[in-house]
């Protein structure tokens, strides 16, 4: 049908016949490319004439476009040029992808490069136009730029074919423009510029849209200023930055060319994202995010969604970025915005088995290829599997399967493997005990609930005689009284709330006959480190270390006193050689 429409259009018949095989093939694979062919004949002709449907030098194409755009003399022409270039290059890219002329890795890189080019070309044109009208914004070092942070998959150079873009805008210093008569504050200049840039990309015209722009990741979200200077950005992330913002900032990439301003901004963000020590506190935040993902899966029943469903693309990204947050402060080679090198480095560092990483990467790119294919049908941001026969047949063909059911079977296996890896990520230290042993739950109740002595004894009656249970109750009550007289902070309270049930549990398991003598020793150690939450985290996150501490305190009051006086000794219990010798 679309071929017949082309034959009835202004395309020369001889030209159509010359390229019939290639054109009819893509018309049968993508309504989006067909629409470009029917509504933008100049664009479609250029794709075929340059053979961009076969291969392209993306850097050269983008460089030539940027040079042409600089000569544009009106904002209306700017918006038109941006949209035509996007349609041209995305149609060519879809053509190459759907006919399997390039890898998914190449496609992701090209999509991101095109986005960078469109965003920065629009920014540069609008910056010049605003400077001519309002003056150039000035700072101590002269003219100031607006730095653009690309977030998410754009930041990681892994952008979806049809995706919105998450951006954050910033500029170096307060000040004003150098307009000779009516200078304005830099904040006002950059706010106007940001508004025009968003409109240039986001606005839907008869020629379409460049990108849907999402600014909600900026400080204070929708309620915050559209642009913030470096000082405000630094204050926000130091004082109010949340764990999920650290997670999001892993992908943040400055789209502007390298400069001393770009280096300044990176120096502000790096300490917020990555902590120099092994960041145990982050693990709880990762668990919380993981729980939210799992809760969303149950609530929304996201079946057939290759991004958000169980075992989808999001879980691979979460897997990689979680390890970056935990280990990236000490292992700087993990401080990459791109997923592939991060996973590869996790294998090299033996943090994750190399075979598991190899399989995860293979599965990730399978999912990304499927996602790209779904979006290239109609240039639509979707991750849902199709429910009509034609689209199912196309995705099976593009993904190199003889039939759709064979594709579905492989997809199910892929997502099952990914979800298994996701489930193993930062599991709760007490998960296994809770599943296999009700004693752990009773230990939690004994510590966390305000139970009476009688109720306490009932909770532990299967493990302790009444006299031992009463003594244990009194010792724990006295320790809680000590804690109430000392400020240990919310973080310390939260960690103790998790650590103490674990300690009671292991103590009852390892030394039930010696517990009334052992508990005061352990309490003396815990009391000595309550103001140093790093050690509380160490014991909570490493059950083997906690077990060894209990064993050592049970053996000797002298050893207990040494550990109480020198908490650094706890670090020695974490060494693999020591733990191996204790097995």
Pairing of strands 138-139, 142-143: antiparallel
The answer to whether residues 311 and 415 touch, using CB atoms and an 8 Å cutoff, is yes
Banded model confidence at residue 156, pLDDT cuts 50, 70, 90: very high
Q: Please give the domain boundaries of the chain with CATH numbers for all domains.
A: 1-102 (no CATH), 130-273 (3.30.460.10), 281-424 (1.20.120.330), 431-582 (1.20.120.1510)
Q: What is the pLDDT of residue 579?
A: 38
Give mean pLDDT, residues 248-257: 97
Banded model confidence at residue 581, pLDDT cuts 50, 70, 90: very low
Q: Which of 113-122, 155-164, 373-382, 552-561 has the lowest mean pLDDT?
A: 552-561
Q: What is the pLDDT of residue 279?
A: 54
Which residue did the predictor score with more confidence, 514 or 269? 269
Q: In the predicted model, is pLDDT for residue 306 greater than 50?
A: yes
Strand partners, 253: 150
C-alpha–C-alpha distance, residues 256 and 211, integer Å:
18
CB-CB neighbours of 579 under 10 Å: 15
Q: What is the mean pLDDT of the chain?
A: 89
Q: What is the pLDDT of residue 582?
A: 45
CB-CB neighbours of 507 under 10 Å: 22
Render the burial of 108-138: b for 16+ CB within 10 Å, e for the rest: bbbbbbbbbbbbbbbbebbbeebbeebbbbb
Render the burial of 230-241: b for 16+ CB within 10 Å, e for the rest: bebbbebbeeeb
- How far does CA 536 lie from the centroid of its chain? 28
Q: In the predicted model, is pLDDT for residue 577 greater than 70?
A: no
Banded model confidence at residue 578, pLDDT cuts 50, 70, 90: very low
What is the chain's alpha carbon radius of gyration, rounded to the nearest angstrom? 30
Assign 166 to helix, strand or coil: strand
Q: Mind listing the pLDDT tens digit for each residue in 84-131?
A: 999 999 999 999 999 999 999 999 999 999 999 999 999 999 999 999
Render the burial of 196-226: b for 16+ CB within 10 Å, e for the rest: bbbebbbeeeebbbbbebbbebbbeeeeeeb
The answer to whether residues 426 and 322 touch, using CB atoms and an 8 Å cutoff, is yes
Residues 6+ apart with CB under 8 A from 374: 306, 382, 383, 384, 385, 386, 395
Give mean pLDDT, residues 511-517: 84
Nearest partner of 141 among 266, 233, 262, judged by Cα: 262
Cβ burial, residue 486 (10 Å; 0-12/13-18/19+)? exposed
Pairing of strands 227-229, 165-171: parallel
Which residue did the predictor score with more confidence, 434 or 524? 524
Where are the alpha helices (H) located in 428-566, listed in sequence order? 431-436, 438-448, 453-459, 466-484, 489-510, 515-529, 533-541, 543-555, 557-565
Q: What is the pLDDT of residue 277?
A: 66
C-alpha–C-alpha distance, residues 446 and 429, integer Å:
18
Q: What is the pLDDT of residue 93?
A: 97
Instruction: For 544, list phi and psi in degrees, rounded to 5.
Output: -65, -35
Q: What is the pLDDT of residue 299?
A: 64
The answer to whether residues 506 and 553 touch, using CB atoms and an 8 Å cutoff, is no
Give mean pLDDT, residues 330-348: 95
Q: Which of 63-72, 221-230, 484-493 has the lowest mean pLDDT?
A: 484-493
C-alpha–C-alpha distance, residues 313 and 437, integer Å:
34
Instruction: For 297, list phi and psi in degrees, rounded to 5.
Output: -60, -45
Assign 150 to helix, strand or coil: strand
Give mean pLDDT, residues 178-187: 96
Q: Mind listing the pLDDT tens digit for each residue in 480-505?
A: 888 877 766 777 788 888 889 899 99
Q: In the predicted model, is pLDDT for residue 458 greater than 80?
A: yes
Q: In the predicted model, is pLDDT for residue 296 greater than 60?
A: yes
Q: In the predicted model, is pLDDT for residue 329 greater than 90?
A: no
Which residue did the predictor score with more confidence, 216 or 512? 216
Q: In the predicted model, is pLDDT for residue 463 greater than 80?
A: yes
Assign 505 to helix, strand or coil: helix
DSSP output for 228-285: EEHHHHHHHHHHT--HHHHHHHTT-EE-SPP-HHHHHHHHHHHHHH--SS--HHHHHH
CB-CB neighbours of 399 under 10 Å: 17
Cβ burial, residue 412 (10 Å; 0-12/13-18/19+)? exposed
Give mean pLDDT, residues 322-343: 92
Nearest partner of 381 among 120, 195, 152, 222, judged by Cα: 152
Q: What is the pLDDT of residue 345?
A: 96
Assign 387 to helix, strand or coil: coil
Render the burial of 320-357: b for 16+ CB within 10 Å, e for the rest: bbbbbbbbbbebeebbbbbbbebbbbbbeeeebeeebb
C-alpha–C-alpha distance, residues 31 and 365, integer Å:
24
The answer to whether residues 222 and 216 touch, using CB atoms and an 8 Å cutoff, is yes
The answer to whether residues 308 and 383 touch, using CB atoms and an 8 Å cutoff, is yes
Give mean pLDDT, residues 61-66: 96
Residues 6+ apart with CB under 8 A from 489: 533
The answer to whether residues 518 and 555 touch, using CB atoms and an 8 Å cutoff, is no
């Amino acid at each position: 049908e679309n071929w017949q429409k082309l034959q009835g259009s202004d395309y020369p018949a001889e030209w159509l016949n010359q390229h019939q095989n290639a054109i009819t093939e893509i018309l049968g694979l993508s309504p989006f490319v067909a629409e470009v062919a029917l509504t933008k004949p100049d664009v479609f002709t250029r794709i075929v004439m340059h053979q961009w449907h076969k291969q392209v030098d993306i850097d050269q194409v983008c460089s030539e476009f940027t040079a042409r755009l600089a000569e544009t003399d009106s904002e209306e022409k700017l918006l038109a040029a941006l949209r035509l270039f996007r349609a041209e290059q995305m149609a060519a890219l879809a053509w190459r992808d759907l006919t399997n002329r390039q890898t998914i890795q190449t496609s992701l890189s090209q999509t991101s490069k095109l986005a960078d080019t469109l965003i920065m070309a629009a920014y540069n044109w609008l910056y010049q136009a605003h400077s001519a009208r309002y003056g150039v914004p000035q700072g101590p070092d002269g003219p100031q730029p607006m730095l653009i942070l690309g977030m998410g998959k754009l930041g990681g150079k892994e952008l979806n074919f049809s995706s919105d873009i998450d951006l954050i805008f910033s500029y170096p210093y307060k000040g004003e423009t150098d307009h000779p008569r009516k200078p304005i504050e830099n904040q006002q200049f950059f706010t106007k510029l940001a508004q025009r840039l968003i409109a240039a990309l986001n606005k839907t015209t008869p020629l379409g849209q460049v990108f849907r722009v999402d600014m909600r990741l900026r400080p204070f979200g929708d309620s915050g200023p559209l642009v913030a200077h470096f000082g405000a950005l630094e204050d926000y992330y130091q004082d109010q930055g949340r764990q999920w913002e650290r997670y999001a900032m892993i992908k943040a990439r400055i789209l502007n060319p390298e400069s001393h301003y770009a280096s300044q901004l990176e120096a502000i963000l790096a300490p917020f994202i990555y902590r120099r020590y092994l960041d145990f506190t982050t693990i709880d935040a990762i668990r919380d995010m993981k729980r939210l993902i799992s809760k969303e899966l149950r609530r929304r029943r996201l079946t057939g969604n290759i991004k958000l469903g169980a075992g989808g693309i999001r879980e691979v990204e979460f897997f990689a970025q979680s390890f970056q947050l935990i280990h990236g402060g000490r292992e700087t080679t993990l401080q990459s915005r791109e997923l592939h090198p991060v996973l590869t480095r996790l294998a090299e560092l033996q943090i994750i088995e190399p075979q598991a990483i190899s399989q995860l990467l293979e599965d990730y790119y399978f999912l990304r290829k499927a996602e790209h294919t779904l979006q290239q049908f109609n240039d639509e941001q979707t991750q849902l599997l199709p429910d009509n026969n034609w689209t199912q047949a196309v995705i099976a063909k593009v993904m190199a399967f003889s039939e759709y059911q064979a594709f579905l079977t492989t997809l199910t296996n892929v997502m099952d493997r990914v979800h298994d890896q996701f489930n193993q990520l930062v599991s709760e230290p007490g998960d296994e005990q809770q599943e296999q042993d009700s004693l752990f739950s009773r230990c939690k109740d004994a510590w966390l609930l305000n139970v009476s002595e009688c109720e306490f004894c009932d909770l532990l009656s299967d493990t302790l005689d009444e006299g031992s249970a009463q003594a244990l109750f009194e010792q724990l009550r006295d320790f809680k009284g000590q804690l109430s007289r000392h400020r240990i902070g919310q973080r310390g309270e939260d960690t103790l709330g998790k650590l103490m049930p674990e300690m009671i549990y292991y103590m009852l398991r390892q030394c039930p006959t010696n517990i009334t003598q052992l508990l005061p020793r352990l309490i003396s150690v815990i009391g000595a480190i309550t103001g140093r939450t790093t050690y509380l985290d160490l014991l909570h996150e490493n059950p083997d270390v906690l077990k060894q501490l209990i064993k050592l305190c049970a053996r000797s009051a002298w050893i207990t006193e040494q550990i109480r006086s020198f908490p650094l000794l706890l670090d020695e219990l974490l060494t693999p050689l020591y733990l191996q010798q204790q097995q």
